[in-house]
Amino acid sequence: MDEFNNMPLDEMIKLVQEGNDEAQNYLLKMYQPFIAKCVSEVCKRYIDPEQDDEFSIGLSAFNDALLSFSAERGSSFFSFAKLVVKRRVIDYIRYIKKAPVAASLDETYDVEQMENPLEVAAAKEAYIQEQDAWHRKEEIKDYKEKLATYKLSLLELTEVSPKHQDARESAVEVAKILFHDKALREYVRAKKRLPIKDLIQKVNVSKKTLERNRKFILAMFIVLNEDYVYLKDYLRGGG
C-alpha cells in the first residue's frame, strides 16, 4: 500500500467511493487513532481497539463517513467524520442502555434483588439527557470554530440576532434560499460573505434588510451547511 503514502486524502476518499478496497482498508487502518480518540471523547474513558465494542461502532461509522463524504458540503472530512462517529457511538450507547438485560441461561434469579424498574427508567433517562447535553456542547464548540472562519462569534451573534420573531424567521428563510442555490452557496463558502447583489434578486427582502441582518443570515447558513442535529432543530423552530 505504499502507493497511498503520498496520495492526498481527497483522492483516496474518491478511490474508496469508487470501490477501491485497498484504499479503504488503508484509511481504516491509518486513522484508527483518530477513531479511538473520537470514541473516547464520547465514552469519557480510554478505548481499546481490540477489546471495546464502541471502537467497532466507531470504525463502522468512519467507514460510512468515507463513503458518504462530499467536499461540496464545504466542511473538512475530519469535521464530518468526527460528527458521524460520535453520533453513531452515542446512538449505540443509547440502544444498549435501553435494551432489556438478558436473563441467565437457567433463567433463575432472585426477585428480591431485582432493581426497581422506576429507578432503572429514571437512570436511563438521566443518562440520555447527559449524553444529549454533551453532544449539544460538542456541536456548539464546532459551530464556534466554523463561525470564526467567517469572522463571526457567538457573542456577536446574540447582539445582531433580529429581535422580532417574524424578522428572525425571514432571515432564516433567506439563509435557506442561499443554501439551496448552488451558485450562491459556493460563493458564500469561498468568499465567506453574502452575495447581496445576486441574493436580492431571489428573495422578497430589501437590500437594507439584507445588509442589516447579513451576519445572522451567514450564521444560519453555517448551520445548514454542517451536519448539526441540535442547531438544525433551532432552525426548524425558528422558521
| pLDDT tens-digit series, residues 160-187 | 899 888 899 999 999 999 999 999 999 9
CA distance 11 to 19: 13
CA distance 130 to 148: 27
Question: pLDDT tens, 42-73?
Answer: 888 888 888 889 999 999 999 999 998 887 76
Residue 141 has pLDDT above 60, yes or no: yes
Residue 123 has pLDDT above 70, yes or no: no
Residue 122 has pLDDT above 60, yes or no: yes
What pLDDT does 98 receive?
66
Over residues 67-87, the mean pLDDT reads 82
In this predicted model, which residue has the larger pLDDT, 31 or 139? 31
At CA 156, angle to CA 227 and CA 195, rounded to 5? 65
pTM of the model: 0.53
Which residue shows C-alpha cell 469508487? 18
Over residues 19-44, the mean pLDDT reads 92
Question: What number of other Cβ atoms are within 10 A of residue 70's Cβ?
Answer: 11
